[in-house]
Structure 1
């Protein structure tokens, strides 16, 4: 599981507002963010977000929950095999009181390839609104200058967002509609487990 890619998946929900009040909290365990507080969003942050991510590390699934102020965003869910995120956005005071549902597990019949380490021949069953297979090459500063290739299931809206000028770190992207249309070629990936970078990245953007 690439925790740094979880950072990127959350980042693509936020594209670059009145003052808005949102609940704010972050939890890297199974708790419900019981210590959440009310915060007034700074200028330019015009949405409240609640997000649940699930990351597979070995045989263990780790969930991370986040609430807070963000710039423009969209409610969505996507699955890259070892990383899944569901997020919901709203624009009224304290509208993010409840969490979005956990990453969707209701299959919709579509199948795509995903990568686990260097093996990209793994088959993933898509769920919910995930109606596209994706192959993306990204290079964020936290990757230390290395490019990473990812495959998985996404909704069409995520494909559109990742090809926009808001996301210059996306070097190549291909979305397709057919089952297993995103190929099974192996790629080279490195996995650095920096969970703290996820929270700091979210809070600084």
Structure 2
């Protein structure tokens, strides 16, 4: 009888769910001080992102690493922000920073929005081969953002934020000019 209980307890020990371990970091200076953390239940991937945010002549680079529920690797470009994300699903796999967003034009163009309209033509870079449109309501205000995205990001959009919808299309300027920011 004791042998059966011992075998049962050993079985439970070895089949218990494994929690993913990812690096965590949020920094404008790089992720030299990243910390390892155990991901909460439901978070099955590690992510590493590099964002370049630009307003006028002001530009800054932000590095972010964390656990995430679902994560499409790839890049997005909304004109004022460019984001590259790499995702993985093994322990400590996000130790390296995501690559910097590309500045090499690829011949594609998509509409993007500024504070006044969504009629700006944005030149896509790197692997951004689709146009993206995200619409939502935040704080009672309707908002639209548009830009370029890689196919992998568009294919990986499988989430509902409850306040936003996201769509992608192929072809130059396929994310029509008709929508705009509303305040």
Distance 2:177 2:70 in 1: 34
Could you list the structure 1 runs, at least 4 aligned residues long, displaced by more than 4 angstroms after superposition. Answer: none
- Is the contact made by 2:110 and 2:121 (CA closer than 8 Å) also made in structure 1? yes
2:78 to 59, 80, 85: 80
Determine the structure 2 residue equivalent to 1:147: 142
Partner residue, 2:9: none
Q: Secondary structure at the match of 1:131?
A: strand
Cα distance in 2, alignment partners of residues 189 and 18 from structure 1: 46
Deviations 1:128-162 (A, max 9, x none): 222112233122xxx21211011111123434454
**2:50 maps to which of 46, 49, 52:** 52
Alignment partner of 2:163 out of 155, 169, 172: 169
For 1:146 and 1:187, the matched residues in 2 are separated by 12
Answer whether contact 2:23 2:95 (CA < 8 A) is retained: yes
1:108 corresponds, among 106, 109, 132, to 106
Q: 1:20 aligns to what?
A: 20
Segments of 5+ residues of structure 2 without an aligned counterpart are 1-16
Contact 2:104–2:126 (CA under 8 A) maintained in structure 1: yes
Q: For residues 92 and 136 of structure 1, what CA distance do their matches in structure 2 show? A: 30
TM norm structure 1: 0.72
Rg (Cα) greater in structure: 2
Secondary structure of 2:141's counterpart equals: coil
SS at match of 1:147: strand
**Residue of structure 1 equivalent to 2:153:** 158
Q: 2: CA distance between counterparts of 1:74 and 1:160? A: 8
Unaligned runs of 5+ in 1: 1-16, 191-205
**Over the residues paired in the alignment, what is the CA RMSD in angstroms?**
2.1
Provide the aligned length of Structure 1 versus Structure 2. 167
Identify the match of residue 176 of structure 2 among 176, 183, 196.
Answer: 183
Greater relative CO (CA pairs within 8 A, separation 6+): 1
CA deviations 1:103-149 (Å, max 9, x no partner) are: 2222221111111111322221112222112233122xxx2121101
